[in-house]
Structure 1
């Protein structure tokens, strides 16, 4: 279902907040920055697959992370 025009503002604000918070946390915790053993592109692709699979299955990513993994589903 395509988003309604009234949804565009909060969706854009949500996406900007996601990126802004990542940069702010990275700046604030620069000395304690974690080291990833995988490439950023691979991590991003894995996140895309989780989102796509959750959408395809009619669920949500937070529900999958919170409840689905502990149930091995």
Structure 2
């Protein structure tokens, strides 16, 4: 049981660290790492029956930010 908790907490830490690093450096790779490491956490909280269910939206927000970075980069190259 303790190993599962350690894995879950490490995924949470890696997810947040890579998310903030990806935001500050505009790195799509770091944001993708954040997306994949946040999926188990989002899946766990998706079954909640209260406001914690909103945590399940974190991977969707990460994908939206990746898409916005992609569009901004594409628009900058075309100009």
User: What range describes the TM-score normalised by the shorter chain of this pair?
Assistant: 0.3 to 0.5
Q: TM-score, normalised by structure 2?
A: 0.33
Q: Which has the higher contact order (CA 8 A, sep 6+)?
A: 2
Whichever of the two has the greater Rg, that structure is: 1
